[in-house]
Amino acid sequence: MSAPMLTVDNLGASYGAAQILYGLSLEVGRGEVVALMGRNGAGKTTTMKAIMGLMAQSCGAIHFNGTDISGKPPFEIARLGLGFTPEDRRIFSDLTVMENLDIGRQPPRQFADGVPAPVWTEAKLLKLFPNLGEMPHRPGGRMSGGEQQMLTVARTLMGNPLLILLDEPSEGVAPLIVELMANTILELKNAGVSILLSEQNVHFAELVSDRAYVLEKGQIQWSGRMAELADNIEIQRAYLTV
Ligand code: ATP
C-alpha cells in the first residue's frame, strides 16, 4: 500500500453512557478507495464523525496527511483537507447549485510531500457532474435525492480535499445515479483523491473499492482486499445484508 493518508488507531467513541466504537483501527493509503462496511447501526457514521472531530466523547489516535488530528475541532480538520460528505446531505435548500458550491470553497493545498492536490473549480465540477451542469440556478430544495447527493459531493470537492469521508453515497438514490456515483468515485481516485466510503452494499463497494473493513457493533471484524470480500459469502452473511 502507498503511504497512509489517514491512520486511525484504537478509536473509541460514545454517545453519553452508550459506547459505540471499540478499539477501531484502520488505514487509507494515498489514492486508495477503502470501504467501511457494516449493517445499519454497526458504527460507520460514528466512525466518520469521530475522525472529523464531531464526537464529543472519543479517544484514540488519528493522523491525517502527516498531522495528528486527534482532539482537534472539526473546522481545523476540514481546513487540513479532510472532506466529509454526510449521509443527510445538508444541502441549503434555498440556495442554488452554484451558491451551494460557493459555500464549499477553500484554498488549494498540498500533500505532506509538497505535491499539489487536485484543484476543483465550478467549471470542472459541472463537467464531472453533467446533471448539475444542466441546472446551475436550481434551488437545492427542488432537486431529486440523487441530484442533492451529487451536489453534496461537488460541494465537498470545492474544498480541494486530499481525502473524502463519503457516508453511504448509494443509499436511497436511483440505480442510474448509483452508477454515476461509482464512476465519479473512480474519476476522483484517478485525480489522486483518497476516499473512505461507508457502505452496506457489496456490489457498489466492489465497483470502486481497493480494500474493505467490515464493522459490527463498533469493532472491525474483517479486513482485506475488496475482491476477497466480494468472493467471501460467509463473511457477507455474517456481517452484511445479502
Ligand atoms: P446507518 O447505516 O444506520 O447510518 P451506521 O453503521 O452508520 O448505520 P451509526 O449511525 O454509526 O451506524 O450508529 C451506531 C450506533 O450508535 C447505533 O446503535 C445508533 O443507534 C447509535 N447512535 C447513533 N447516533 C446516536 C445519537 N445521536 N445518540 C445516541 N446513539 C446514537
Q: What pLDDT, on the 0 to 100 scale, is given for residue 172?
A: 81
153 Cα–ligand 1 center, Å? 22
Where helices occur in the chain by DSSP H, the ranges are: 44-51, 74-79, 97-103, 122-128, 130-133, 145-157, 175-191, 202-208, 226-231, 233-239
Q: What pLDDT, on the 0 to 100 scale, is given for residue 87?
A: 82
84 Cα–ligand 1 center, Å? 17
Closest CA to 186 of 214, 158, 166, 213: 166
Q: What pLDDT, on the 0 to 100 scale, is given for residue 2?
A: 56
In short, whether 44's Cβ falls inside 6 Å of ligand 1 is yes
Could you say which residues of the chain have pLDDT below 70? 1-3, 242
Q: What pLDDT, on the 0 to 100 scale, is given for residue 175?
A: 86
Q: What pLDDT, on the 0 to 100 scale, is given for residue 241?
A: 76
In short, whether 18's Cβ falls inside 6 Å of ligand 1 is yes
Q: What pLDDT, on the 0 to 100 scale, is given for residue 145?
A: 86
CA 192 to chain CA centroid, Å, is: 14
| pTM for the whole structure | 0.94
Cβ atoms of 161 and 193 closer than 8 Å: yes
Rg (CA), the chain: 17
Q: What pLDDT, on the 0 to 100 scale, is given for residue 173?
A: 82
In short, whether 45's Cβ falls inside 6 Å of ligand 1 is yes
161 Cα–ligand 1 center, Å? 26
In short, whether 15's Cβ falls inside 6 Å of ligand 1 is yes
Rounded Cα distance, 61 and 31, in Å: 22
Rounded Cα distance, 204 and 188, in Å: 16
Q: How crowded is the C-beta side of 211, counted as CA atoms within 13 Å?
A: 17
82-85 and 163-167: which strand pairing?
Answer: parallel
Q: What pLDDT, on the 0 to 100 scale, is given for residue 217?
A: 96
In short, whether 146's Cβ falls inside 6 Å of ligand 1 is no
211-216 and 33-37: which strand pairing?
Answer: parallel
CA 238 to chain CA centroid, Å, is: 24
Q: What pLDDT, on the 0 to 100 scale, is given for residue 223?
A: 98
